[in-house]
Amino acid sequence: MHGAKRGVFISFEGVEGSGKTTQAQALADWLQKSRIPYIFVRDPGTTKIGEKIREILLDKEYREMHAKCEVLLFLAARSQVTYEKILPALREKKVVVTDRFSDSTFAYQCYGRQLPRRLISIFNRFAAAGIKPDLTFLVDIDATRRMERGKFNDRMETEAEGYHQNVRQGYRALAARSKKRFKILDGEKTVDVIHDEVIHLVKELLKRKGCKI
């Protein structure tokens, strides 16, 4: 990215089955085609350590996992991907696309599991080195509609439906508080229609940041 001081950081958020990964991957493909240097990460995951932590987090064997253990594992994985992948890429002026980031912790652990927001806010800043996405896409879908989209099997996905409703409301509350950073996408539109909206908004952002596309 010529002219920009650092890279551009874009996150995708939403409940399971909303279409985050589909859209994040489609954006990554577009960046590739457009020859814009980028990295695509998922949180938790991507790093060797993060993928191990992800396995533990999603394993249905660990139903006994305490909410505090859960949040600390998510944050541990996030700090690793932040320092190992995201910060270096931003320094190299790349576009970073992430499938989930700190907003997930607010939505899932504060709204879903009722952990105190003040504490999570401090933990999140600590784990993510104080960085925030420049643009966050919230793929919004009714928690019952997402169930029509396939099998949901892991420890988080198989939580009670009320929990997922709280998470969705949590995301909407977050988006309402940070209107500039968040863009809400209607997850019930077709994949292509949503992708076009994503590209439109990303092009605008890249231009603002001085990237010639």
Ligand X SMILES: Nc1ncnc2c1ncn2[C@@H]1O[C@H](COP(=O)(O)OP(=O)(O)O)[C@@H](O)[C@H]1O
Q: Which of 9, 10, 11, 20 binds ligand X (CB under 6 A)?
A: 20
d(CA 141, CA 145): 7
**153 contacts which partner out of ligand X, Mg ion, none, CB within 5 to 8 A by kind?**
none
Q: Where are the beta strands (DSSP E) in the chain?
A: 8-13, 38-42, 95-99, 135-140, 182-186
CB-count burial class (<10 Å; 0-12, 13-18, 19+) for 207? exposed
Taking CB under 6 A as the rule, does residue 16 contact ligand X?
yes
CA 144 to chain centre: 21
Nearest CA-CA partner of 17 in 174, 153, 199:
153
Under the rule (CB under 5 A), what is the footprint of Mg ion? Answer: 21
* Lookup: tokens for 159: 């939580």
Q: How far is the CB of 116 from ligand X (least distance, A)?
A: 27
150 makes contact with ligand X (CB under 6 A): yes
Of 119, 129, 173, 191, the one binding ligand X by CB under 6 A: 191
176: nearest Cα among 202, 145, 146, 138: 138
Residue, CB closest to ligand X: 19
Interface segment toward ligand X; rule CB under 6 A; list 30-38, 78-86, 185-193, 197-205: 185-193
Q: Report the nearest approach of ligand X to the CB of residue 55 (Å).
A: 17
Residue numbers at the binding site for ligand X (CB under 6 A): 14, 16-22, 149-150, 187, 190-191, 194
